[in-house]
Structure 1
Amino acid sequence: MDVFGIPAHPLIVHAAVVLVPLAALGALALMLVARWRRTYGWLTATFAVAGFAAALAAKSSGEALAAERGMAGTPRISAHEAWGGWAPWPALVLAIGVVALVWLTARPEPRRGPMVWTAVALTAAGALASLVVVAITGHLGATAVWG
Structure 2
Amino acid sequence: MDVLGLPLHPLIVHAAVILVPLAALGALTIVVSARARARFGTLVAGVAVVAAASAFAAMLTGPLLADEIGVAGSTRIARHQQFGTWTPWPTLVLALAVPLHLWVRRPGGERGAAAVLVGGVIVVASLAALVLIVLTGHAGATAVWGS
Please give the TM-score of this superposition, normalised by the length of structure 1: 0.95
Q: How many residues align?
A: 146
After TM superposition, the runs of 4+ consecutive aligned structure 1 residues lying more than 6 A away are none
Counterpart residue number, 2:134: 135
Gaps of 5+ in 1: none
Counterpart residue number, 1:118: 117
Q: Is the 8 A contact 2:45 2:99 kept in 1?
A: yes
Q: Offset at 1:26? A: 0.8
RMSD: 1.1
Counterpart residue number, 2:43: 43
* Secondary structure, aligned partner of 2:26: helix
Q: How does 1:57-96 map to 2 (within 5 A)?
A: 57-96=57-96
Gaps of 5+ in 2: none
Q: Deviations for 1:94-144, whole angstroms, at most 9, x for unmatched residues? A: 11221111121123335x522211210111011000000000000000111
Q: Is the 8 A contact 2:59 2:85 kept in 1?
A: yes
Q: Is the 8 A contact 1:96 1:123 kept in 2?
A: no
Identity %: 50
Q: Offset at 1:73? A: 1.2
Amino acid across the alignment from 1:136 = L
Q: Is the 8 A contact 2:83 2:136 kept in 1?
A: yes
Q: Is the 8 A contact 2:103 2:109 kept in 1?
A: no
Q: Deviations for 1:73-103, whole angstroms, at most 9, x for unmatched residues? A: 1112011001100010010111122111112
Counterpart residue number, 2:109: 109
Please give the TM-score of this superposition, normalised by the length of structure 2: 0.95
Q: Deviations for 1:7-57, whole angstroms, at most 9, x for unmatched residues? A: 000000000010010010111111121111111001001111100000000
Counterpart residue number, 1:28: 28
Amino acid across the alignment from 1:117 = V
